[in-house]
Structure 1
Amino acid sequence: MPSLNDISLRQLEYVVAVADVLGFRRAAERCHVSQPALSAQIQQLEEVLGVKLFERGTRRVMLTAAGEELVARARRVLTEAGDILSAASRLSDPFAGNLQLGVIPTVAPYVLPEVVPALVKQYPRLRLRLREEKTELLVRALDEGRLDAALLALVPELGELEHTVIAEDPFVVAAPPGHPVAKLKQVRLQDLDEENVLLLEDGHCFRSQALTLCTRIGAREVDFRATSLTTLAQMVMSGEGGITLLPSLSVPTENRLGQLVVRSFAAPVPSRTIALVWRPGYPRADALRELAGTLRSVWPGHKGEAKRS
């Protein structure tokens, strides 16, 4: 029977990398090692365990049934090992070392250019490692220990993740010049009944929130799904697709040339809640709460307005 001396965290890291990308070459690049070295370490681990973790074909790599179970356990081991390092860092300086921070695409381009310099100035020993992904992927990365925290919109799918609120981000209506919305000072929900609305593609939490609102007010989704808010704004500017909903956070960037008619909603104003989230038991949670306070103080358009959770 193999002992703990026969298994290394490095081997587990290599196995998880291959499982993530289903390829040895890309996994080696991700781990910054040569492919032969990575392959040899995984083969050695398979020999120690007495099971095959991967099916190796000429064109693809797949996890075996045994690999599925053992990779899941390897992820948990690596998460715990990472938390040990984080705890040690916290005991010396909670704002020293790496912080893996995820950000959703409907937030990242509108806040990072402003808040990152502020964080670097406030915490000079902290090295931010940023990752932009959709909510589902960020939540998975948090659960697996590949991220320390994430900036995203609160949705029910977050489960048991802990959080602290950064800001409320009201929705606005964006329409092309000449659209009837331009005559309104504020938009009531009933004003959008039967309007054609462009939305983001599946996977964006903002799409889900906007779609729920559109369904409630009787607006119709156009048969086009954008990959970004920039694409939505450009399509509306063209005057060919209809109107759209945008988070207020994005308006200074997406309407910087003033080619959109932008109107706020009358009360009750639909909005999303932006929060900093992390997994339960994360050892630097107190530091994240302090960092959230810094984020609130420099948040574009919402300085000092958001309440703590």
Structure 2
Amino acid sequence: MIRLTIRQMQYFESLAETLHFGRAAAGCGVTQPALSAQISEMEAQLGLRLFERGAGGVALTAEAQALRPRIERILAELRDLESEARRERQVLEGRFRLGVIPTVAPYLLPELLPRLKQRFPHLQLEIREAVTGTLLEETGSGRLDGMIAAEPLDDPRLVHEILFRDPFHLAVPEDEAERIAPPVAQESMALERLMLLDEGHCMRGQALDICGKVKPVAMESFGATSLTTLLHMVAHGMGVTLIPQLARASVQMLPSVRVLPFVDPGPSRTIILAWRRTNPRQADFAALCAIARDAQRSLAAAAAA
């Protein structure tokens, strides 16, 4: 009879995520030999080879890849059960794993994290920055408790709450700002030089939607994995890019970049907090929504000053 333990499944989940025995063991709070022994025992009980171990590192076998979603679902249900059993605890207390997309994290978190630390001193917050597709999978499987991203999200496992509307602006080189003549129409020829984030970033699709009738020609030549990189490219006259209102205060510190508004009604994105339907931590999500909105209002005030 196969008798897998919760501990073995937790170790499997950690190793499948990190693909490194040392990091997996550290994440589980055990020694590497202890984790390795449990993984070997799990393989023996299942009669399967789950991980390929070699000089090049660790890789999941096809059998492990097939098994991984089922183990993640089991562990997610167990975590939800534990949360339900601890409803007596205070709001936002204990471990909370939050995912945030890269075009939100660097701008919202500096305002959000100090507020959370001050108001919820017993919160053990873990932050995961990744693109939307990765966060969807990890939130849906239970590896994250919640995620902050932009609409739309198409995953029946999740529900969400709108946090705020985040208008877009156009960042242009300082010496080109007068020629572009704000406010900028979505049909402006200036958008032909629009530089985009790489594939996988939701802002790439949003940027293309905003372009209207203008096809960006720069997108074939340029791409970046971060908005910060794009802004430095703008500062050196390589093109223009979209920036969300959240990032405006940071952009204003770049002397060679000018931020221009769009013609009303301007384009925007909607930022949301999403979580699994089965997650019982409703009070936590409500509190997190409220404090995230407060952080955004502070950023908007700083950008307007």
In the superposition, the TM-score normalised over structure 2's length comes to 0.89
Contact 2:93/2:123 (CA < 8 Å) preserved in 1? yes
Q: Which residue of 1 aligns with 2:225?
A: 227
CA distance in 1, matches of 2:253, 2:85: 45
Q: CA deviation at 1:196?
A: 1.1
Partner deviation per Cα, 1:51-84 (whole Å, 9 max, x = no partner): 3323334434333343233322211111111112
CA distance in 2, matches of 1:194, 1:120: 41
Secondary structure at 1:224 match in 2: coil
Q: Which residue of 1 aligns with 2:97?
A: 100
Q: Which residue of 2 aligns with 1:276?
A: 273
Structure 1 pair 160–19 and aligned structure 2 pair: CA distance change class (3 A): closer
Q: 1:32 aligns with which of 18, 29, 34?
A: 29
Q: Which residue of 2 aligns with 1:306?
A: none
Q: 2:200 aligns with which of 200, 203, 228?
A: 203
Partner deviation per Cα, 1:125-176 (whole Å, 9 max, x = no partner): 2222222111111111111211111111112445542111111111111111
Contact 1:95/1:123 (CA < 8 Å) preserved in 2? yes
Structure 1 pair 41–210 and aligned structure 2 pair: CA distance change class (3 A): same
Secondary structure at 1:128 match in 2: strand
Look up the equivalent residue of 2:122 and give its one-letter code: R
Q: 2:246 aligns with which of 249, 254, 277?
A: 249
Query: Does residue 41 of the first structure (1) align with residue 41 of the second (2)?
Result: no
Contact 2:52/2:58 (CA < 8 Å) preserved in 1? yes
Which runs of 5 or more structure 2 residues have no equivalent in the other structure? none
Please give the residue correspondences for 1:288-303 in structure 2 after superposition, counting only pairs within 5 Å. Answer: 288-299=285-296, 300-302=298-300
Partner deviation per Cα, 1:180-230 (whole Å, 9 max, x = no partner): 555523111122366211111122111221123236433323411112111
Q: CA deviation at 1:301?
A: 3.8
Structure 1 pair 285–184 and aligned structure 2 pair: CA distance change class (3 A): same
CA distance in 2, matches of 1:238, 1:65: 47
Tell me whether 176-185 or 14-23 shows the greater mean CA deviation. 176-185
Q: Which residue of 2 aligns with 1:56?
A: 53
Structure 1 pair 265–77 and aligned structure 2 pair: CA distance change class (3 A): same
Secondary structure at 1:200 match in 2: coil
Q: Which residue of 2 aligns with 1:307?
A: none
Tell me whether 129-138 or 162-171 shows the greater mean CA deviation. 129-138
Look up the equivalent residue of 2:231 and give its one-letter code: A
Q: Percent identity?
A: 40
CA distance in 2, matches of 1:159, 1:74: 19
Q: 2:82 aligns with which of 68, 75, 85?
A: 85
Q: CA deviation at 1:250?
A: 0.6
Q: 1:142 aligns with which of 114, 139, 144?
A: 139
Tell me whether 65-74 or 81-90 shows the greater mean CA deviation. 65-74
Structure 1 pair 301–216 and aligned structure 2 pair: CA distance change class (3 A): farther
Secondary structure at 1:131 match in 2: strand
Q: Which residue of 2 aligns with 1:266?
A: 263
Q: CA deviation at 1:35?
A: 2.3
| RMSD across aligned positions (CA) | 2.2
Which runs of 5 or more structure 1 residues have no equivalent in the other structure? 304-309
Structure 1 pair 216–85 and aligned structure 2 pair: CA distance change class (3 A): farther
Query: Does residue 114 of the first structure (1) align with residue 125 of the second (2)?
Result: no
